[in-house]
Amino acid sequence: MIKPGKMMIQVLQSLFKKPATTLYPFVKTEMPDKFRGKLKYYPERCIGCMLCVKDCPSDAIVIKKIGEKKFQAEINLARCISCGQCVDSCPKDALETTKEFELAKLNREQLKVVCNEETCSSSETKT
């Protein structure tokens, strides 16, 4: 246990030191290399092998065939645990992790992302 006199010295010293915390969100944090953030899907690379779906421990990915050799990915970011297993198992690098980590939304439906050749958009329900 710290004695009151010694504790007072520590309190006075800490008044003149810089804070140990960061200034987030006012100063954006640079994420390190190989950071596993939001998933990005490249439909032109996908061959529909479904290895990412089979290896995903949280069932966050659904791949649908929308045409001849054309596939669409539905990624549920609310379920994704950012383990990167789907990225590691994809033989054609159709999935990759980005450095984006600010994924908070007011509605869980906004975290469902549908990616096809035209766009990658969230499947929001307008009410």
Higher pLDDT, 89 or 123: 89
Q: What radius of gyration, in Å, describes the C-alpha atoms of the chain? A: 22
Predicted pLDDT at 126: 42
Domain that holds residue 113: 23-122
Domain count, the chain: 1
DSSP H/E element including 8? helix 4-15
89 belongs to a structural domain: yes
What average pLDDT does the chain have?
88
2 belongs to a structural domain: no
Neighbours of 39 (CB within 10 A): 24
Is pLDDT above 90 for 119? no
Is pLDDT above 60 for 125? no
Is pLDDT above 70 for 124? no
Predicted pLDDT at 7: 86
Is 43 exposed, middle or buried (CB count within 10 Å of its CB: 0-12, 13-18, 19+)? middle
- CATH number of 40's domain: 3.30.70.3270
Predicted pLDDT at 63: 95
Place 19 in a pLDDT band, splitting at 50, 70 and 90: confident
Which residue bears the tokens 């290896």?
Answer: 55
**Tens of pLDDT along 30-69?**
899 989 999 999 999 999 999 999 999 999 999 999 989 8
